[in-house]
Amino acid sequence: MKVGVFDSGLGGLTVLKHLISDYPNNEYIYFGDTFNLPYGTKSLDDLRNYADKNINFLIAEGAEIIVIACGTVSSNLYEELKDKFDIPIIDVLSPTIRYIKENNLDNVGIFATPMTIKSGAFDSVVSSFVSCLLFVPLIEDGKINSNECDEAVIGYLKELGNCEYIILGCTHYPLLSEVISKYSDSKLIDMGKCVSKYINIGNEGRLSVTLYFSLLSDKLLENVSNIIDVSYEIKEKRL
């Protein structure tokens, strides 16, 4: 099966990595819209425009199913996009909420983007919210192991308060799991793991991974190589 995955940048690779690990016999086509990064502070009209272009591109590349590997687009546009396109579309929020409810998890907080929090998508399962504006730029700039990143994590954890579980409500955030766990005993919920647990894409074929980004840089190439540990082809594509 040809599986299309998209995000605003490299964060969606955390979802792709789980899919490849659990379903290694598929063709994966990824699009990271690094030219328009970040999505978390964009208007709804902008998000709609980006999502439409991303999905149409993946369909043109032969995708048979689309995974929205972006918390912001998932929380604000999933229902609309699901009804708009004649192709199965999977978001990252629904599987995460399902996981929380099925396991009766309580005292759950979330780190997310401003637009995800504003959408109210997690209101039924989360008691504490923190908008983490600094995380995506730190990750995309390769500053995960910097003092600046540690300070941001410590500040956001203090703002969140004591939670038994923390949803990493942007697909970039699992890349900060080690840093967060250094300063917190909370159990982290990775949306990519939840998607991979519930998705049904089969596992028959041959592994192929093609990564497209709307803007490539040396730092991005380095970051990608640290996340995806299988062979892949990488290209620049401006939509």
Could you say which of 70, 149, 163, 194 is catalytic? 70
Helix, strand, coil in percent for the chain, rounding step 5:
45, 20, 35
Judge contact between 139 and 176, C-beta under 8 A.
Answer: yes
HSE toward the beta carbon, residue 188, CA cutoff 13 A: 23
Could you say which of 149, 163, 170, 194 is catalytic? 170
Beta bridge partners of 7: 32
DSSP state of 132: -
Q: Return the number of other C-beta atoms located less than 10 Å from residue 198's C-beta.
A: 14
Encoded tokens for 204: 């028959």
The question of whether 149 is a catalytic residue gets the answer: no
The question of whether 194 is a catalytic residue gets the answer: no
Q: Return the number of other C-beta atoms located less than 10 Å from residue 204's C-beta.
A: 9
**Residues 6 or more apart in contact with residue 121 via CB below 8 angstroms:** 74, 75, 76, 93, 97
**Residues 6 or more apart in contact with residue 217 via CB below 8 angstroms:** 34
Encoded tokens for 113: 């983007």
| Element spanning 30, H or E | strand 27-32
Beta bridge partners of 111: 130, 168
Which residues are the active-site residues?
70, 170
